[in-house]
Structure 1
C-alpha cells in the first residue's frame, strides 16, 4: 500500500534529470533534483549553500518547494517539471492505494 507522503521519484524520459518529491495533502513537495551526468558541486537553492559532501550534480531545496517554486528556481528544466506534473496529477487523482500509472516515475 502506497502512502501519499512516501518519497516519489520522477525521471525525464532520457534519465538525465531526476526529482525526488512527496505528495503532501494535495501539494507536490519537491525535496531535491539530481543530474546524474553532471559534476557540479551539490548545493541548496535558493541560498546556493554548497554541500561538498553530497553527491555531485544534486540540488537540494532550502524549503519545501512546490512545482511552481521549482519551475521558478530552475526554469530551464521544463522537461523534468512537465514529467513531475504528470506524475503529480496521476498520484493526486489515483488516491492512496493506486499504483503509479504514468510510466516515468518510481516510488521509493
Structure 2
C-alpha cells in the first residue's frame, strides 16, 4: 500500500503555531505549539484525554492518534483561548481552497502567516522528533 501524500500547512500568529492539512473539505489538525507555554508537551486524543510527552518541546500539543485527527471546530472547542490562531487557520484554509485577489489571512485583525511544507507524507511529520521545526526555537503555557 502506498502512503498517502499530503500538503501540510503551518499557520502561525504571535501566540502559537498550528500544523494542519486539508482532507476532503475539512481541516485536519496535526499539532499546535503555544509559544508562551512551558508546560510539558502532550498528545490530545480524540476522546479528549491527554498523554504527556516528557521529552517533547514545551508547549507542544499533538492531536489524535493513529490516523485519526480532529477537525478545526473540535480543536477550537478544546483550546478556545487561541481563537486568533484558529481564525488564521480557517482563513488560510479558505485561501487554499478558494483564493481571492487579496488573501483572507492578510485581512485578519492580527498578524498571521501560513505556508505549506510541500508534499510530505503525514507519517514523516508524525515521526519527527518533537524538537524539530520552527516551533522548537520558541518558548511558550498549556
TM tier, shorter chain? 0.7 to 0.9
- SS in structure 2 at match of 1:5: strand
CA RMSD of aligned residues (A): 1.7
Alpha-carbon distance in structure 2 between the residues aligned to 1:106 and 1:32? 15
Range moving further from structure 2, 30-39 or 71-80: 30-39
Aligned to 2:97: 92
Aligned to 1:69: 74
Aligned to 1:47: 49
Q: Which has the larger radius of gyration?
A: 2
- SS in structure 2 at match of 1:70: helix
Aligned to 1:11: 12
Alignment deviations for residues 57-84 of structure 1 (CA, whole Å, 9 cap, x no partner)? 1011124111101101111111011000
User: Unaligned 5+ residue runs, structure 1?
Assistant: 95-100
Q: How many residues align?
A: 97
Aligned to 1:105: 114
Aligned to 1:60: 62
Matched, 1:31 2:30: yes
Runs of 4+ with >3 A deviation: none
The TM-score, its normalising length taken from structure 1, stands at 0.81
